[in-house]
Amino acid sequence: MPRYAFRIEYDGRPFAGWQRQADQPSVQQALEEALGRLQAEEPRTTAAGRTDAGVHATGQVASVDLEKPWDPFRLAEALNWHLKPAPVAITACAEVDDEFSARFSAESRSYTYRVICRRAPLVHDAGLVWQVKTTLDAEAMAEGARHLIGKHDFTTFRAALCQAKSPVKTLDEVRVEEVALPAGREIRFHLHARSFLHNQVRSIVGTLERVGAGAWDPEHVKAALEAADRAACGPVAPPDGLYLRAVGYPDDPFRDGWVEEGGQPPSPEATPPAYF
């Protein structure tokens, strides 16, 4: 059976997360039902990361075994047709070898979290960012974030129901970027690691928001990390602003497949530079 990889973009608002569930809509279900329109049996997919309810993606990767060979372009076109009207799109597709797994072959995951600081209600970005009505000090948050880079016990920033065997992770990047908008400012948090704990990114962003708001000083982040206690964490940021932006592999699975023009997944190095 030929195996295919997809790069997937989705709006997480209508879904209870990536993973298929018995009684709630999921991104996995939408994709598998679309695949089921192309062959006799509905296949099961494997994803690089199980995003939570309301979390978005611009670079999720999934793999699947199909009953017959497809041209990657035609497969992507067929899936995008059958995915309508769900807010899910295939932006790259390639046939891969039998050893490739979207989950187990991945070497890294990159997330971006978006916060917009403004008092006026959001119109175009409502549900796609976390709106904070006060000004946040981006430089202070960047200072606090530096305490989290490297290999640490991230128990403080781990959901109570996290199923990971160990709370020890290596965070390669936590970068804070500030962008001026016509109304307000956008703060983007870029995080890059081999893998993440459940709710780790949202817990980190919620903690850094306390620093940006002036409720915590940057050194408080270090103390919270060293406490290795969930109670030391700041409030968990809502899912609205979180995006799975890219997944890294030893070899680009889409190099010889079909990729939307101009749609190569951004590497951590290719993200816009921070202002500080």
Element (H, E) at 61: strand 56-65
Beta bridge partners of 94: 5
Please give the positions annotated as active site. 52
Beta bridge partners of 190: 112, 175
**Per-residue exposure over 146-165, b if at least 16 CB sit within 10 Å of its own CB, e if not:** ebbbeebebbbbbbeebeee
- 60: exposed, middle or buried (Cβ count in 10 Å: 0-12, 13-18, 19+): buried
> Structure tokens of 202?
């949202």
CB-CB neighbours of 14 under 10 Å: 16
